[in-house]
Amino acid sequence: MKLYNTLNRQKECFQPITEGKVGIYVCGITAYDNCHIGHARSALVFDMVTRYLRWCGFEVRFVKNFTDVDDKIINKANREGTTIFAISQRYIAEHNHDMNSLGVLPPNETPLATEHIDGMIALIESLIAKGIAYAVDGDVYFSVEKFPGYGKLSGRNPEELLAGARVEVGEKKHNPLDFALWKASKENEPWWESPWGRGRPGWHIECSAMGKCLLGECFDIHGGGADLIFPHHENEIAQSEAAYGKMPARYWMHNGFVKISGEKMSKSLDNFITIKDLLKVYHPDVLRFFMLQFHYRSPIDFSLEALAEARSALNRCYRLLEAIDSFLVGRTSLATDTPPLQNEELRSVVASFPEKFREAMDDDFNSAKAFGVIFDFVRLVNSAIANKNFGKSTDAAAILSAARKNLTSVGEALGLFTYSPAEYFQEDTAREIAKLGVSQEEIGHLVNQRQKAREEKNWARADEIRETLAGMKIQIKDTARGTAWFVE
């Protein structure tokens, strides 16, 4: 398995520290507002990473933190006249609700920064003892010039950074590049007792402390959004490596951004769409499919049109599952027999499908390439079902149930196809109908009328109703077992 390591800017063979086990730390959210689909991408990407690693047989320990003390939380708490804990707990609950809706598996550990203050203080003390950090008036700063490797993750060098650095009035730092490990608390700010007086931790120190506490001084994978490369992860490396003498993680993975109209989606640009709003109009699998159809490091340009296309593609997969299920109804007994191999080639394609999927995913979690494999497979199985002779062959049911099993297995690695086709289409239809502003009853009535006209062989009337429905974006599907309908 190869994965791209931001640290060395190249794909590297993945070699876990302990055979068969993987420790992953991903930077989670600062809990002060609802999550937007940029957060969703990061969550879905690393959910795919952990799911895929588990699918491959690794025992994964996945840690994702919450930043629950920070300027933005403090500001919001002061504005609302409440505590930072009330704010962070509220948005952690919202976050968890969103993640659950998206089908993101809960991490093994979800540490809060405020639960690890002692660890942070100990870490800061050891940095001071080593002469790498210094205290000034209750603040503590990390001295960048004392750490020779500074800039290795983001590819910057301290001189260049210094040239462009802003020096603010009243700075207590010795060097403009130095960053805060601990901040003396001001009025109306939460505080913890420390050797430097009452204060609160800087942003970067929390991940160094929590990563070390839950995964050890060096773990396998550290992940986050590409915007965290600098300064957050750069500073985290500086702190941890200076304190423990080793890189905190071997592989650094960063997901690309979600853009909207060509610009990065972010709080500051105020151009974000929340997960909650999006899930009102599209099924969570559609959002997941949309995100995973791109390689995780590429930027994505988000639009509702693009999401609609993702829905069309995903529907194709669920339709196949539906078709298999309907083929298999009443025929499963055949699967237990040992029938003659009438479809040897198809059987071998079905059997080798997971391996092809694995090949694509092993190349730096290339889910985009994996979808190519999936759709080739979908077409092949569909063509078998479409073939009348295939239905007569004694091994058809066995092959199709194997195909179904393999497709959902691969889906498990991506977090897709976890619903039954009936559930999926029901939820999809409910959303589409709501968008169209028509009721199920209205459609059902028209479908019944057409059904009557068809029974009377009044084709003109039947076609007229079908056209009316088509005008409403409702497609009719006549099958042996009656008429179904769905939204285009």
Partner RNA sequence: GGCGGCAUAGCCAAGUGGUAAGGCAGCGGUCUGCAAAACCGUUAUUCACCGGUCCGAAUCCGGUUGCCGCCUCCA
Interacting positions 186-215 with RNA (CB under 7 A) = 203
Measured from the CB atom, is 81 or 262 closer to RNA? 262
3-class DSSP state of 15: coil
Per CB under 7 A, 246 contacts RNA: no
Per CB under 7 A, 338 contacts RNA: no
Per CB under 7 A, 463 contacts RNA: yes
For 25, other C-beta atoms within 10 Å of its C-beta total 28
Q: Are strands 179-184 and 139-142 parallel, antiparallel or unpaired?
A: antiparallel
> Which residues are CB-contacts of 307 (< 8 A; sequence separation ≥ 6)?
278, 282, 286, 287, 290
Nearest distance in Å: CB 245, RNA: 26
| Near RNA in 12-31, by CB under 7 A | 27-30
Alpha carbon distance 405, 387 (integer Å): 21
Alpha carbon distance 151, 138 (integer Å): 27
Per CB under 7 A, 164 contacts RNA: yes
Written as one letter, the residue type at 172 is K
| Near RNA in 25-64, by CB under 7 A | 27-30, 38-39, 41-42
Number of residues located near RNA, criterion CB under 7 A: 83
Q: Which stretch binds RNA (CB under 7 A): 47-55, 121-129, 259-267, 398-406?
A: 259-267
Per CB under 7 A, 264 contacts RNA: yes
Nearest distance in Å: CB 243, RNA: 21
Per CB under 7 A, 431 contacts RNA: no
Per CB under 7 A, 293 contacts RNA: yes
In DSSP terms, which residues pair with 140 in a beta bridge? Answer: 135, 182
| Near RNA in 271-290, by CB under 7 A | none
Nearest distance in Å: CB 337, RNA: 26
| Tokens found for residue 323 | 């078709």
Per CB under 7 A, 371 contacts RNA: yes
Per CB under 7 A, 9 contacts RNA: yes
Per CB under 7 A, 152 contacts RNA: no
> Given candidates 224, 284, 411, 421, which one binds RNA under the rule CB under 7 A?
224
Measured from the CB atom, is 17 or 162 closer to RNA? 162
Per CB under 7 A, 309 contacts RNA: yes
Per-residue 3-state assignment (H helix, E strand, C coil) for 273-336: CEHHHHHHHCCHHHHHHHHHCCCCCCCEEECHHHHHHHHHHHHHHHHHHHHHHHHHCCCCHHHH
> Given candidates 59, 118, 227, 442, which one binds RNA under the rule CB under 7 A?
227
With tokens 């930072």, the residue in question is 84
Per CB under 7 A, 266 contacts RNA: yes
Nearest distance in Å: CB 150, RNA: 13
Which string of DSSP letters, residue by residue, matches 208-258?
Answer: HHHHHHHH-SSEEEEEEEGGGIIIIIHHHHHHHHHHHSS-SEEEEEEEPPE
For 474, other C-beta atoms within 10 Å of its C-beta total 22
- Site map for RNA, 376-415, x if CB under 7 A? x-xx--xx-xx-----------------------------
Alpha carbon distance 178, 145 (integer Å): 8
Per CB under 7 A, 72 contacts RNA: yes
Alpha carbon distance 356, 343 (integer Å): 20
